[in-house]
Amino acid sequence: MITPWFTGLLQVFAAVKRLFYPQKTFFCDLYVELLQEIGTELSWSDLKNLRAVSTHIRDAIEPVFCASATLVIDPFNRDGQTVLTLKTLVDGTPLWSRYGRLKIRSLAPKALPGSATTYEYFRDLLCPALQSLTQLRVVHWTMTRDDPSWAHRVVVDILSARDHLRELHMMTAAYDDDRFMSFPAIPSLRSLSVDQPTDWVMYFVKSARTAGFLAWIGRTIRASSAQLESMRFPCTSDCAELCTILEQENIRLKGVSSPRSHDALYSYLASYSGILERLEILDVQKSAHGKMLYENVIPQNAASLVVLRLPGCEEGQQGPCALKGEQLALISQLKRLQTLEIAVDCWRPGELRDIVYRLLETVVDSMPALKNIAILPAYSPHAGGCNRSNQLDRYAEHGFARIEAAVREFEKARRSANIRRLLATHRRRLEDIEKISRGYIVWKENS
């Protein structure tokens, strides 16, 4: 029988042991909240490996893992994996139903292998499978012209009922009819992106063919007015009504991306200040737009801009939208800027070398937060169509060569590790160009 004095003696020995030999804390012994906080800083592949360490860690980071995992619906997968995925969701697999990201690559009947019976099976599974995804936060949806209208309706109806949905990214060339007129709005979005496979093609889309699609986008903007922070505008000729809706709803976006430049966009951007953090305009052609950009939009948001991308500007004798020497003082005021992508006029090599030198001196000496830079030749990616393809090809090749020569001279003159790291990002950005052909430049999709 163990007496009380002996039990007390054991407790004293245990206390002395803890005092002189403190127990080591292993990674597996961390609190669940701390493990989840660590998980939010890891990539999805690292999370997948971390889940295999132990059951305690797997259970702790499961919500983080599911929120970052992507479920892909792709009927073009010829091994029948898409139908199997939908069937697994319908059968109620708990892990998959908690996935936070969804990527839809196609809903076209001809994409499915096999007979018409296979597609009927796919049709029966699609709605209940999507309904089982109750924790969706990010959706990437590629619409094709071959998608049936019922499939679009199923996806929109389900997404409109998801209160946790925060980001919707659409790649579409299928908004040429009125199928969207009766679609419900998608609320609670913080980021809305509408893109096309090749932006220049959509220049020829008539406004009447996009009326239904833009009306649905407008309803979605109004439904998400309290949360909407970022938007990429579609490349159509009648996006002015979307800018009007943003002004009417008093929505002040922190991130704006547009494949083309138009008056309504600049009018909207000039209506507020001190909020814009990310500005990306891929094609600035008019002198009036360049003037509004450097005299109104950028100065009003100099204290808040973190990302500024102006890669596509009209070249020419006057270079109305390319960076000029008098605008460098404005660029130097962007103290929070981390990413800068800017176009310079390459027609005159002497002036090009001077502007590149002055720009690099500005960013090195006056912009401590800058991490990424890309200096590109000013061009118009949509100007002239195929008739000017050879001219633009030669101009781009010579422009990149002249810019790179000026960058090498500056790097050799300054000789600094910080400068080498900064200019390394410039060269990586140039490598992102896939091809220059037929009068337009095709960029790799940004992650």
Interval 372-414: pLDDT, tens: 888 888 764 444 444 444 555 566 667 777 888 888 888 888 7
> 250-259, 306-315, 408-417: which range is least confident on average?
306-315
Burial tier of 244 (Cβ tally within 10 Å: 0-12, 13-18, 19+): middle
The rounded distance, in Å, linking the Cα atoms of 76 and 85 is 13
Token couple for 129: 């499978």
The rounded distance, in Å, linking the Cα atoms of 64 and 41 is 10
* Run of H or E including 395: helix 389-414
To the question of pTM greater than 0.85 for the whole model, the response is: no
* Of 239 and 270, more confident: 270
Give first-to-last CA distance, the chain, whole Å. 69
The rounded distance, in Å, linking the Cα atoms of 260 and 313 is 10
Q: Sorting pLDDT into bands at 50, 70 and 90, what band is 316?
A: very low
Interval 24-63: pLDDT, tens: 556 666 777 787 788 777 777 787 788 788 787 777 877 7
- Please give the DSSP secondary-structure letter assigned to residue 348: S
Token couple for 302: 């100099």
* Of 196 and 157, more confident: 157
Considering 4-8, 70-74, 355-359, the range whose residues carry the highest mean pLDDT is: 355-359
- Please give the DSSP secondary-structure letter assigned to residue 168: E
Report the b/e string of 115-154 with b at 16+ CB within 10 A: eeeebebbbebbbebbbbbeebbbbbbbbbeebeeebbbb
Q: Sorting pLDDT into bands at 50, 70 and 90, what band is 251?
A: very high
Average confidence score pLDDT of the chain? 76
Considering 106-110, 126-130, 237-241, the range whose residues carry the highest mean pLDDT is: 126-130
Residue 125: which of 180, 163, 75 has the closest Cα?
75
User: Is the confidence at residue 220, as pLDDT, over 80?
Assistant: yes
pLDDT mean over 158-183: 80
Interval 280-297: pLDDT, tens: 987 776 667 778 888 889
pLDDT mean over 303-324: 70
Report the b/e string of 61-73 with b at 16+ CB within 10 A: bbebbbbbbebeb
Considering 98-102, 251-255, 343-347, 358-362, the range whose residues carry the highest mean pLDDT is: 251-255
The rounded distance, in Å, linking the Cα atoms of 282 and 441 is 11
User: Is the confidence at residue 277, as pLDDT, over 90?
Assistant: yes
> 205-209, 211-215, 292-296, 329-333: which range is least confident on average?
205-209
pLDDT at 336: 92
pLDDT at 443: 35
Domain layout of the chain by residue ranges: 27-65, 272-447
User: Is the confidence at residue 252, as pLDDT, over 90?
Assistant: yes
Using DSSP bridges, classify how beta strands 433-437 and 440-443 pair: parallel, antiparallel or unpaired.
Answer: antiparallel
The rounded distance, in Å, linking the Cα atoms of 55 and 193 is 38
pLDDT at 434: 43
